[in-house]
Structure 1
Amino acid sequence: MIFRNIFLKLVIGTCFLRTLSTAASIPRGRSIVYRKRDFGTQVSTKTKPSVRSLTSSEVHSVRKRDDEKWFKQLEVFWIDYDPTRRWEWCKGYGQPVFGKDLTSKLIERVSFSEKGSNNKGIFVLQTDYTVGSGENVRTYPKQTVIAKLINHRLEARAACEVWALNHFGLLIEAGRITAEVDDTFGVIVMHKQSGKPLHDVEEWNTAPVDQKRAVVQDLRVQVQDLIYRWIQKKGVVHADFDPDNVLVDIARNKETNAIRLEHFAIVDFGSPGVWLRRKVPSEQTFVS
């Protein structure tokens, strides 16, 4: 299945093992179709709310060149996808989800990242974020919230991301914000996910090759297992294999100096990443 090939090429070959002699030296275990969550669903030995959606320009250029191949991976019997519609086939496409004015709630924001061609920037907040009113009011600590501004021309597609985040319980709210000389953009407010892309983690970058391989193999197996559980229980599959879309925390043993994967999260639910499944494939079909 192309899922595996794209994931290994972009996540393993392009980023995770850029310091290794060759990606082919990684132990080949099970393939991967991965699981995701709001800006990430989190799997961890510790509990932390969060989310994050970043896409490297390097990978975006790869995706554009391989656009036909990328969409081809979706043409399997168990994914609800129509190749004649492509972008418009995702759940929630074109829904009116950006009508609420959130400008006053997002004035004190700080740029977090400008990566990604599908947005106008990702921001963290300088104040806590409150939704609802009266007995239904809820306040989210500022360090657990992230806001993503949406390009005008992509709002119909971005509605799919709002649906996906809400489906996984990761959406705080969506609306509009006035910024940049009275221009107005859609905005998605979500939980901020902890961790960094593996290639940005110092503990991994400075570890011996054999320890890097072990961490990558552990990550591949866990991500694959999570995605399959999502297909079974959540009814969706995430197919956006981008190196920056898998965030990790790496722990180092002070006595042995060995590293291990402590936590990981799959992030960025933007279109065309998340699709409904028609049926649950067998595990053999999934990994083949």
Structure 2
Amino acid sequence: MLFGNTLHLVVGFLFVTIINANSDTERIAKFNQNMNRAWIIKDAIGNPECPGSRKNEIVYKKDLTKKLGDIKLLSNAGKNSEGVYTFPPGVDYEINGEKVPGDSLVVKLVRMDSDYDSCEAEILHRIGSLRDHGKLWKEANFGSDVEGSPRSSPSGARSNSGSDSGHSDSGSDSSVEWLDYGVLVMNKAKGKSLSQYEWWKQLSGPQKKELVEKTLVDIKSKVYGLLKTQHLLYADLNLDNILVEIETDDHGIHSFKEAHLVDFGFPGIFTVRKIPEPEEFDSWFYEQFNFYSADLRKAQNWREFSGRQLVADSDSESSGAGKRLSNHDAGTGGGTGRRRSNDSDAAGSG
């Protein structure tokens, strides 16, 4: 009897595994089909045709080590914050002779191990977010210590390329590897990814869906705008790459304000042969987001998102069926009822 139960469990496990494997295969195939639209340009092996590629030595030439010695790692809690740094409170950063408040900027370190690492600088420049760029001497594995900050190269340290740091050999630590990292100083985007808000887990499924839908409407407009003005297609439509500004009143009522894209690095940006018609773009956009949101949709038992669905939901809300996300529903703090913007900005650009 025990053997029979065990066999049943094993067969059941294999059956579920096969179903999941088939589901993943179909999902990836659907994604590849979506990215093979005729108007999207890719190279011979399927990589994006990335503007500004193969220019690492030019883009990351200026040494910014002394100017960036005090920056602090934002967080190592999420993949979109590893290698992203902020300035200490009250510290300004000089750009072209002008002092810019450090709290309006973030710093991203780039490993420069790909020909395409210079693409992000070009793209940030095109969208008006890049403020400075160069290189920085720093200990390897920059994303491992949330409290750590880049230190100037120790005496006598050398990069992999063998370039001398310019210091004497006294006091060097040969056990530590120091490398040149590319540096991008960029404008800071407001908001957080939805999952980073403390009250997100306490929202009901319909409330989460409402916020995601409003985020999609705003982001779709911005992705299409970038496509029309710069011929750049932002394809990495992961919710972690979308920062959302939330307005919260003193009763704890949360309402959507605006969404911002972050992480414009390879391989998430493609160029296009032509601008697709809005209907064609909408089809691509929702297919792309559905791919990246599969886990969330499965957890919430949501159907795939579509433009028609969002229009219907918007009409329902305007007729009185929709409601704002309240403190009573979400379990957040209360107050006197004045509207205030959320003050917790996250790093990024946009």
TM-score by length of 1: 0.67
SS in 2 for 1:104: coil
**Match among 78, 93, 96 for residue 39 of structure 2:** 78
SS in 1 for 2:60: coil
Question: Is the Cα–Cα contact under 8 Å of residues 177 and 185 in structure 1 kept in the other structure?
Answer: yes
Letter in 2 for 1:74: M
CA distance, structure 1, for counterparts of residue 71 and residue 224 of structure 2: 36
The residue number in structure 2 matching 1:121 is 83
SS in 2 for 1:158: coil
CA distance, structure 1, for counterparts of residue 218 and residue 264 of structure 2: 19
Question: Is the Cα–Cα contact under 8 Å of residues 120 and 150 in structure 1 kept in the other structure?
Answer: no
Is 2:222 the counterpart of 1:263? no
SS in 1 for 2:117: helix
Question: Is the Cα–Cα contact under 8 Å of residues 80 and 275 in structure 1 kept in the other structure?
Answer: yes
Structure 1 residue 93 displacement after superposition:
0.8
**Any gaps of 5 or more consecutive residues in structure 1?**
1-62
The residue number in structure 2 matching 1:215 is 211
CA distance, structure 1, for counterparts of residue 121 and residue 201 of structure 2: 34
The residue number in structure 1 matching 2:70 is 108
With 224-233 and 267-276 compared, the bigger mean Cα shift is at 224-233
CA distance, structure 2, for counterparts of residue 158 and residue 118 of structure 1: 16
CA distance, structure 2, for counterparts of residue 140 and residue 67 of structure 1: 44
Is 2:231 the counterpart of 1:235? yes
The residue number in structure 2 matching 1:188 is 184
CA distance, structure 2, for counterparts of residue 79 and residue 230 of structure 1: 14
Q: Which has the larger radius of gyration?
A: 2
CA distance, structure 2, for counterparts of residue 189 and residue 178 of structure 1: 15
Letter in 1 for 2:50: C
The residue number in structure 1 matching 2:108 is 148
**Any gaps of 5 or more consecutive residues in structure 2?**
1-23, 140-175, 284-350
Question: Is the Cα–Cα contact under 8 Å of residues 75 and 81 in structure 2 kept in the other structure?
Answer: no
Letter in 2 for 1:144: S
Percent identity between the two aligned chains: 29
Is 2:276 the counterpart of 1:281? yes
The residue number in structure 2 matching 1:20 is none
Question: Is the Cα–Cα contact under 8 Å of residues 203 and 259 in structure 1 kept in the other structure?
Answer: no
Letter in 2 for 1:131: I
SS in 1 for 2:257: strand
The residue number in structure 1 matching 2:267 is 272
CA distance, structure 2, for counterparts of residue 67 and residue 161 of structure 1: 26
Letter in 2 for 1:104: K
Measured on the aligned residues, the alpha-carbon RMSD in Å equals: 2.6
Structure 1 residue 236 displacement after superposition:
1.2
CA distance, structure 1, for counterparts of residue 272 and residue 111 of structure 2: 28
**Match among 35, 56, 59 for residue 97 of structure 1:** 59
CA distance, structure 1, for counterparts of residue 130 and residue 28 of structure 2: 28
Structure 1 residue 114 displacement after superposition:
3.6
Q: Given the superposition, is the C-alpha separation of residues 205 and 115 from structure 1 closer, same or farther in structure 2, using an over 3 Å criterion? A: closer
CA distance, structure 2, for counterparts of residue 100 and residue 275 of structure 1: 27
Q: Which has the higher strand share?
A: 1
CA deviations over 1:201-255 (Å, ceiling 9, x no partner): 1343333433222222111122112211221223211001222100112223445
CA deviations over 1:64-102 (Å, ceiling 9, x no partner): xx8887565432222222242615x31111112100101
Structure 1 residue 111 displacement after superposition:
1.1
Question: Is the Cα–Cα contact under 8 Å of residues 204 and 250 in structure 1 kept in the other structure?
Answer: no
Letter in 2 for 1:92: G
Structure 1 residue 269 displacement after superposition:
0.1
TM-score by length of 2: 0.56
Q: Given the superposition, is the C-alpha separation of residues 118 and 263 from structure 1 closer, same or farther in structure 2, using an over 3 Å criterion? A: closer
Question: Is the Cα–Cα contact under 8 Å of residues 92 and 99 in structure 2 kept in the other structure?
Answer: yes
Is 2:116 the counterpart of 1:157? yes
CA deviations over 1:121-155 (Å, ceiling 9, x no partner): 221112211122xxxx222211111111111413x
Q: Given the superposition, is the C-alpha separation of residues 250 and 118 from structure 1 closer, same or farther in structure 2, using an over 3 Å criterion? A: closer
CA distance, structure 2, for counterparts of residue 84 and residue 98 of structure 1: 26
The residue number in structure 1 matching 2:340 is none
With 97-106 and 212-221 compared, the bigger mean Cα shift is at 212-221
CA distance, structure 2, for counterparts of residue 76 and residue 83 of structure 1: 15
CA distance, structure 1, for counterparts of residue 250 and residue 79 of structure 2: 41
